Amino acid sequence: MTTDQKRRTIPLARPLIGEAEAEASRRPIMSGWLTQGPEVAAFEQEFAAYTGAKHATAVSNCTTALHLALLAVGVGADDEVITVSHSYVATANVVRYCNATPVFVDIEAATSNMDPAKIAAAITPRTKAILCVHQMGMPCDIAAIVAVAKEHGLPVVEDAACASGSEIRWDGQWEKVGKAHGDIACFSFHPRKVITTGDGGMITTNNSDYDKQFRLLRQHGMSISDRVRHSANQVIFEEHSVIGYNYRMTDVQAAIGREQLKRLPDIVATRRRLGDRYRQLLSAAIPGLTMPHEPEWARTNWQSFWVRLPDALDQREVMQGMLDRGVATRRGIMCAHREVPYQRESGYDLPESERAQDRNIILPLYPQMTDEEQDYVVEMLSEVCTQ
């Protein structure tokens, strides 16, 4: 094996998971209670405490979390939801799940997040909610978005899939994304995210009525929970008064999530160090390279670190050059309006969203990353971009 072949080991991401999670998974396995039981309840309480939210409801993934969030705020047939195209397609899909229409607004180039200045013009009599995204862990301008929403009497749902551990300054205090600063926030625990349960999601809110709806709908609309039924000393017959879903989290996932939550502060601290280091290393390495802007009121968890290539460079060629040198990258976040289900004859005017997809690439970043690995990524990117 050559030296170059040995170097082909830098993935885009790598979950930080080990013996603590393996041992935790034994608890539900040995107890015999494997789904939506005491481990799930404990994970919900601990996640609510971490974010500062009054309520947290665990579900099967962030897509199902977003679906339940939109249903809770009343999104239904023929409604419109203002959101961004520049996000994983699930953000748009959940609007369609409600038989509603996503209305896409453009993003800010510096943060890759929804541009609050574009929202008001997109509001119509059919608008039912605003669905914003904390893209790649970078907090969106939720204060400005909420201000517009309040002016028009609209609820705000935060797609916080990537934002576990991210923070915003709210009323002069640093607070976790998910408190929630809108009406509802939804998180993902997919392996690409900052903490993982294999898959899984969490919904946080301060609204008790929303929380009751989440808990009802995630388990087929059943009137009582499994825990209540199994602990009762009398026979209880459940009812199903509404059409619900099978959106439950397993206790094995929750047990893993509880251990991951303990790791989260250190994971975020390491990611922030690596993000700052990328900015220092890249600032003078490649002329014309643009990096993400972290507003002074935001603290990102650097779930992903992207760069925008100079106009003279071809995105695919740069990515292939990195792959040839053993470094995994990904193109900028997709735009849903370019996918077949969301295309329309009149097209869309979303220049910053399209530019972000076409010009940005995502670099490797994970908590186990060494300085030497990061140096190599920067060295290879500089080599590819200047050859």
Lateral strand order in the sheet of 330-331: 305-308, 360-363, 330-331
Catalytic member of 118, 176, 179, 193: 193
- Cβ-in-10-Å burial (0-12, 13-18, 19+) of 47 comes to buried
What's the rounded Cα separation, in Å, for the pair 24 and 43? 12
What's the rounded Cα separation, in Å, for the pair 6 and 308? 28
- Cβ-in-10-Å burial (0-12, 13-18, 19+) of 181 comes to buried
Residue type, 328: A
User: Which secondary structure element, helix H or strand E, spans residue 237, and what is its range?
Assistant: none
Dihedral (CA of 169, 170, 172, 175) sign: negative
Collapsing DSSP to helix, strand or coil, 311 comes out as coil
Long-range contacts of the stretch 37-41 (C-beta < 8 A, 24+)? 37/226, 37/227, 37/251, 38/227, 38/251, 39/251, 39/252, 39/254, 39/255, 39/258, 40/248, 40/249, 40/250, 40/251, 40/254, 41/227
**Active site (annotated) includes residue 6:** no
Q: Show which residues are catalytic.
A: 193
